[in-house]
Structure 1
Amino acid sequence: MNKDNITDIAVIGGGASGFAAAIEAKTILPTAKVVILEKLDRVGRKILATGNGRCNLSNINLSGDHYHGSVRNIMRVIGATPSATEFFGSLGVICTADSKGRIYPKSNSASTVLSALRLRAEDLGVIERCGFEANFIESTPQYFRISSASGEKYPCRRIIVAAGGYAAPQFGTDGSVIRLLRSKGCHTTKICPAVAALRVRPELLKGLKGVRAKGRVMAYSAGKLLKEEVGEIQFTDTALSGICVFNMAHLFSQYEGKLTLRLDLAADMELEQLVGYLRVIQYQRGKHTTEELLTGIFPRSLSSYITKRALGRPLTLLISELRENDLRQIAQLIKCLDFDVTGTAAWKDAQVTSGGVSGDCIDERLQLRSEKGIFLCGEILDVDGDCGGYNLQWAWSSGIFAGRSCADSLRGGRT
């Protein structure tokens, strides 16, 4: 084959990690032919949807505690690459952090981020090739050949796989390339939705749809506390939602579906303080029905739900008729409102994939051990982060790291 027809580096996937990889590789090797192969009719659709369209780029509180998965050098990769603020500053994007440490573009618009990535890629000479759905990689002694679903073949010297996982398939990430990589000797860890709502028995949520309440969420399995987080809890007709719940979702698969969420809806009060408060309310509202017992601290629907679930009696009972044991039962339920998790939200409603290509399949350069010359980055790997910018930080960092490793291998390696 004519060498002029062979692409130097083909990046499978025109998303966050794919653009970061292509930009870094082309910056290191200005004369190399670098092409982004995107299955959809345009690049970056998932970027535009992140952070509710605001694009939560990263978080100032980066640590390994916010990441999960079998890739062992997550923080080394992040530490070896520019911060999101530095990277996007080099692309002309000003970033700012909110009170929770979440980093956004100053414009509060994801389109700012995508435009900056595309402009830099264009300036460097990176080629975008849309409508190319990779479904097979053939290896030859001199190069690789990527085949598309339509039968088109794309020869290249190196490959960076940045095709994402299974989450949000409406934006092109349907896990198809993970299946492709299994043919190259890769194995995957258990895969399930992460940064997602957690489903519980619908009958336990009756009357709570649309309710929001602040509290502490604790995840248990077989009686062992796994994780806890404080934040706003949102109730739907089938699930518990909110960031503090999203950050528990990866545990459902990890503990084989044996997961219980315990809500403490009075996290700022000890049990005895709460019982004392209820005694005061009983004195103040004694002539009213139990429907009014908790309306001073919770929305009416949640107030009624807690009282009814705790007592197992109609709300027509007068507050003055409650016994000390009744007040204690109500207080205990407020502090320990348990829900057994039955599943996660569907892939279309999940933000991230928990699981992916195992960390055992790649070396310290994010290169496949079984097939030299193929590098992986982003969500396709078994790395998922908490909600709050951690997953996009992994996308930028792993993309830059893989792009750098790929370019270095091309400079001194196989042709």
Structure 2
Amino acid sequence: MTDIIIIGGGASGLTAAISAKETEPDAEVVIAERLSRVGKKILATGNGRCNLGNRDISPEHYHGSVDVMPVMSAVPDAERFFRDIGVLTWTDEQGRIYPYSNSAATVLNALRLRCEQTGVKEICDFKAVDIIPENGRWCVAAEDGRELSCRRLIIASGGLADPGSGTDGSVLKLLRDMGYRASKYCPAVAPLKTEAALLKGLRGIRAKCRVQAFSGNELLRTEYGEIQFTETMLSGICVFNMAYLWRKYGMGLRLSVDLAPDISDLDLCTYLINVQKQRPLLPLSELLTGMFRKELAQYIIKSALKRFEPDQTGALTERDIMRVVKRIKGLEFPVTDCAPWKNAQSTCGGISAECITIGLQSRLHSGLWFCGETVDTVGDCGGFNLQWAWASGILAGRNAALSLKGGK
């Protein structure tokens, strides 16, 4: 009979194991991982650099029914935790924390080494297909027929994002079958789809902008950054941070893109009138090439005027110029879907707060804890999701180990 089993060897699972062993060194702690090795998803975070946290930890960066702040305040911050396991970090001007090596492998190696030093055991290629409570104990059955028994169980199996890293949501389905309420799942920190016709001529273009999300006339969120246009989707961090809204608003969600957020409508109109006066014979297709790359400039003019006629800027009317200004200040894109799971960095949705205590313990079963993407919270892009993974893993592991001391 194992003391503590952790289902999932990702970011939250590894920290839960370390925390449990450091809290109760004599406890037997086992990580049961679906893949052939732990931590695969960690290697892909931050484009391989591992944006492991952020100094601006505040509620507005998290979305879901679970309040993350009591958890964050109960454990060491990411910098301290990683310093304690030997990882030197640095912080950029936006508060994003990275390993000094700028390599996710450094983070994973440090976590695995600490697990090895403390005596955490790993069982890989273990796909959990059943979780059975048995008189205060737990039995976890694998697809290949193996079974593990334990006194305490921690679910750190992740959500549905990036299924290639081993997170397919199958454990979440098991939890639902056990009576746990889970909010609707949808991809988060992901691109958003729109009507393909609206993106014709924009593929491959990147632009600095302000993006605002609306439902009807209600402004839901504003983000600044670089937007990327693909054949069917809007991408970039400023869009990623809107993706969680799809779960609630669906087809009612609309994005408005301001391509000149630092220039007022009046100043922009004055600029274009001056261009018109100074170069009246300039081809209309060149009107905006002093502001934007040619492809984007031509897209704006075509969408505003539906033509390249008249073919010279001098023939533009004041109304024509105002139409161009309106397009620059507000390209409209109705959201038709979220990107598929393979393109998502995180999961929106999970086990609802009503099923979990402030210490991440189950309210429905004794001896069961949750951490990471398993629970209903998702963070913005910028290290917030990994910060939650480490923090929730540390707290779940600590509390599971402390409960052993009480003999419960």
User: TM-score by structure 1 length?
Assistant: 0.97
Distance 2:251 2:76 in 1: 37
Partner amino acid, structure 1, of 2:52: L
Distance 1:79 1:364 in 2: 12
Distance 1:97 1:286 in 2: 50
Partner amino acid, structure 1, of 2:61: H
**CA offset digits 1:90-115 (Å, max 9, x no partner):** 01100001121110000000000000
Match of 2:95 among 76, 82, 101: 101
Q: How does 1:272-287 map to 2 (within 5 A)?
A: 272-287=266-281
Check 1:401–1:283 CA distance in 2 against 1; reply closer, same or farther (3 A cut): same
Name structure 1 gaps, 5 residues minimum.
1-5
**Runs of 4 or more off by more than 6 Å in structure 1?**
none
Distance 1:86 1:310 in 2: 53
Partner amino acid, structure 2, of 1:272: L
Aligned to 2:81: 87
Is residue 215 of structure 1 aligned with residue 209 of structure 2?
yes
Match of 2:182 among 178, 185, 188: 188
Aligned to 2:325: 331
Match of 2:3 among 2, 8, 11: 8
Check 1:315–1:102 CA distance in 2 against 1; reply closer, same or farther (3 A cut): farther
Distance 1:223 1:396 in 2: 38
Question: How far 1:180 moved relative to its partner?
Answer: 1.0
Distance 1:239 1:256 in 2: 15
Is residue 395 of structure 1 aligned with residue 386 of structure 2?
no
Match of 2:17 among 11, 18, 22: 22
Match of 1:361 among 355, 361, 380: 355
Question: How far 1:207 moved relative to its partner?
Answer: 1.0
Asked if the contact 2:241/2:380 (under 8 Å) is kept, the reply is: yes
Q: Any idea what SS the aligned residue of 1:343 has?
A: strand
**CA offset digits 1:152-188 (Å, max 9, x no partner):** 1101111000000000001001111100111222111
Distance 1:290 1:413 in 2: 79
Using the TM superposition, name which of 96-105 and 283-292 deviates more. Answer: 283-292
Is residue 241 of structure 1 aligned with residue 241 of structure 2?
no
Question: How far 1:191 moved relative to its partner?
Answer: 0.9
Distance 1:124 1:82 in 2: 19
Match of 1:349 among 324, 343, 347: 343
Check 1:142–1:199 CA distance in 2 against 1; reply closer, same or farther (3 A cut): closer
Asked if the contact 1:220/1:261 (under 8 Å) is kept, the reply is: yes
Asked if the contact 1:69/1:355 (under 8 Å) is kept, the reply is: yes
Aligned to 2:64: 69
Distance 1:142 1:247 in 2: 41
Distance 2:299 2:204 in 1: 13
Q: How does 1:133-282 map to 2 (within 5 A)?
A: 133-282=127-276
Q: Any idea what SS the aligned residue of 1:119 has?
A: helix
Is residue 38 of structure 1 aligned with residue 33 of structure 2?
yes
Asked if the contact 2:152/2:368 (under 8 Å) is kept, the reply is: yes
Partner amino acid, structure 2, of 1:335: K
Match of 2:44 among 35, 39, 49: 49
Asked if the contact 1:285/1:293 (under 8 Å) is kept, the reply is: no
Is residue 412 of structure 1 aligned with residue 406 of structure 2?
yes
Aligned to 2:369: 375
Asked if the contact 2:208/2:226 (under 8 Å) is kept, the reply is: yes
Question: How far 1:142 moved relative to its partner?
Answer: 4.6
How many percent of aligned residue pairs carry the same amino acid?
53
Aligned to 1:302: 296
Aligned to 1:314: 308
Check 1:134–1:315 CA distance in 2 against 1; reply closer, same or farther (3 A cut): farther
Asked if the contact 1:308/1:315 (under 8 Å) is kept, the reply is: no
Q: Any idea what SS the aligned residue of 1:255 has?
A: helix
Q: Any idea what SS the aligned residue of 1:227 has?
A: strand
Asked if the contact 2:301/2:308 (under 8 Å) is kept, the reply is: no
Asked if the contact 2:7/2:32 (under 8 Å) is kept, the reply is: yes
Distance 1:358 1:410 in 2: 25
Question: How far 1:257 moved relative to its partner?
Answer: 2.9
**CA offset digits 1:15-58 (Å, max 9, x no partner):** 00001100000001111100000000011000000000000001
**CA offset digits 1:269-307 (Å, max 9, x no partner):** 111111001111112332121110001111111100000
Distance 1:300 1:315 in 2: 17
Asked if the contact 1:263/1:338 (under 8 Å) is kept, the reply is: yes
Partner amino acid, structure 2, of 1:267: P
Name structure 2 gaps, 5 residues minimum.
none
Q: RMSD in angstroms over aligned alpha carbons? A: 0.9
Distance 1:251 1:226 in 2: 8
Question: How far 1:143 moved relative to its partner?
Answer: 1.7
Is residue 58 of structure 1 aligned with residue 26 of structure 2?
no
